[in-house]
Chains A and B, each alone.
Chain A
Amino acid sequence: MGRRRRHHKTSGAVKLNVTAMLDMAFQLLAFFILTFRPAPIEGHLSLNMPPPIPQTNVQSTQTVGTEGNSAPNLHALHLFVTATESGDVAQIRLESNVIAAGRLTPATVAGIGRRIAPLFAAGNVLYDRIQIEVDRDLRYEELLKLVDVCAQQKLPDGKPLGKVSFVEMQR
């Protein structure tokens, strides 16, 4: 009798009751499925945005960066952006020159980039940042298109400009 019982114990496989574990696993799974929210595909435009500097005399930039001046006094390039009531771009001025008017399209933005780029090319570096004076009603979406084209400008050493300031335009 005793011998038979011992025989049964050694030959029978040990069976774990996995039902409780499965219950818990399903609960965890339900939690994760219900709380799952895929991360949005967001990007960032990284900028160094120091506080804006008071507008200097733009005409004086003609004298800086001349030969023999090893540490030229760099200035901010000024862009002036006016807006319509609906928040679209009305006009963009580069210093005193109108460089775009009307709603921003990819072609307009590219054109602005072409106008700005030579100012940062080697030998012509008078500026180390772009200061955008913006109409208070301009929509952020439109502003970001301009900021993007400004941030893409390359300094003579190949580094991106990345230094942009905003000022609210006085009415």
Chain B
Amino acid sequence: MSQSSEGTAEPDLTPLLDMVFQLITFFMLVINFKGAALDQSLQLPVLGSARPLEWKGDYEPLMLNVDNEGRVKVFGAVVSAEKFITDEAADLKKKLKASGESSPKELPVPVVLRADKGTRFHLVNHVIKLCQDNGYVQFSLSAMTGTGEGGR
């Protein structure tokens, strides 16, 4: 009697902790670190036949976001397309050389081009030409796969 009145009420926190850890595990598994490279403000065109990018190369694809005024954004920041693409290509060529691969004329890495659906052709083509001039020939043009409105 005296023991029960003196003892403090301690809820069993173990199930709560279990649940919280399960939630943490879930969020850790679904977290998308690459999402930061995607400019969510772009309205991508809708294309039913678009498929997920299957890229298993050693090097990361070059991700370019082009808004409807032709500005190239990388990780949310507007960059000079000329400088960025040239630097990335030079860096890749250096890596290829360091890994013993002969410097190919065509870079073995795709460019993921995420352009707004309202962007005029000459603005997109300018970015494409810059990539081609630097040795990129593989392109993955991003689009929304659904039938609804493009972009978010």
Nearest CB of A to B135, in Å: 10
Contacting pair A140 B27 (CB below 8 A): no
Nearest CB of A to B149, in Å: 11
Beyond A39-B35, A44-B52, is A26–B40 a contact (Cβ under 8 Å)? no
Contacts of B20 in A (CB 8 A): 22, 25-26, 29
Nearest CB of A to B32, in Å: 5
Q: For the complex, give the distance between the alpha carbons of A19 and B122 in Å.
A: 60
Contact of B139 among A21, A49, A140, A145 (CB under 8 A): A49
Contact of B27 among A36, A50, A138 (CB under 8 A): A36
Contacts of A139 in B (CB 8 A): 117-121
Tell me if B125 counts as interface (CB < 8 A to partner A). Answer: yes
Beyond A32-B28, A41-B145, A140-B116, is A47–B50 a contact (Cβ under 8 Å)? no
Contacting pair B125 A166 (CB below 8 A): yes
Contacts of A39 in B (CB 8 A): 32, 34-35
Contacts of B117 in A (CB 8 A): 139-141, 144
Q: For the complex, give the distance between the alpha carbons of A149 and B124 in Å.
A: 19
Beyond A44-B141, A49-B137, A136-B122, is A18–B47 a contact (Cβ under 8 Å)? no
Q: For the complex, give the distance between the alpha carbons of A117 and B117 in Å.
A: 26
Q: For the complex, give the distance between the alpha carbons of A58 and B28 in Å.
A: 57
Q: For the complex, give the distance between the alpha carbons of A56 and B23 in Å.
A: 62
A-side interface residues, number (CB < 8 Å): 45
Binds A, one of B11-19, B75-83, B87-95: B11-19
Beyond A138-B121, A139-B120, A168-B125, is A45–B140 a contact (Cβ under 8 Å)? yes
Contacting pair A42 B122 (CB below 8 A): no
Contacting pair B139 A43 (CB below 8 A): no
Nearest CB of B to A132, in Å: 10
Contacts of B144 in A (CB 8 A): 40-43
Q: Which residue of B lies closest to A166 (CB)?
A: B125
Contacts of B146 in A (CB 8 A): 41
Tell me if B3 counts as interface (CB < 8 A to partner A). Answer: no
Residue-wise, chain B 79-108 has the 8 Å CB interface mask toward A (1 for contact) of: 000000000000000000000000000100
Tell me if B1 counts as interface (CB < 8 A to partner A). Answer: no
Contacts of A21 in B (CB 8 A): 17
Nearest CB of A to B67, in Å: 11
Contacts of B21 in A (CB 8 A): 25
Nearest CB of B to A165, in Å: 9
Tell me if B112 counts as interface (CB < 8 A to partner A). Answer: yes
Nearest CB of A to B40, in Å: 7
Q: Which residue of B lies closest to A136 (CB)?
A: B122
Tell me if B152 counts as interface (CB < 8 A to partner A). Answer: yes
Contacting pair A29 B13 (CB below 8 A): no
Q: Which residue of B lies closest to A37 (CB)?
A: B35
Beyond A25-B20, A25-B21, A166-B128, is A44–B112 a contact (Cβ under 8 Å)? yes
Residues of B within 8 A of A (CB): 13-14, 16-17, 20-21, 23-24, 27-28, 30-32, 34-35, 38, 40, 44-47, 49-53, 106, 110, 112, 114-122, 124-125, 128-129, 132-133, 137-146, 150, 152
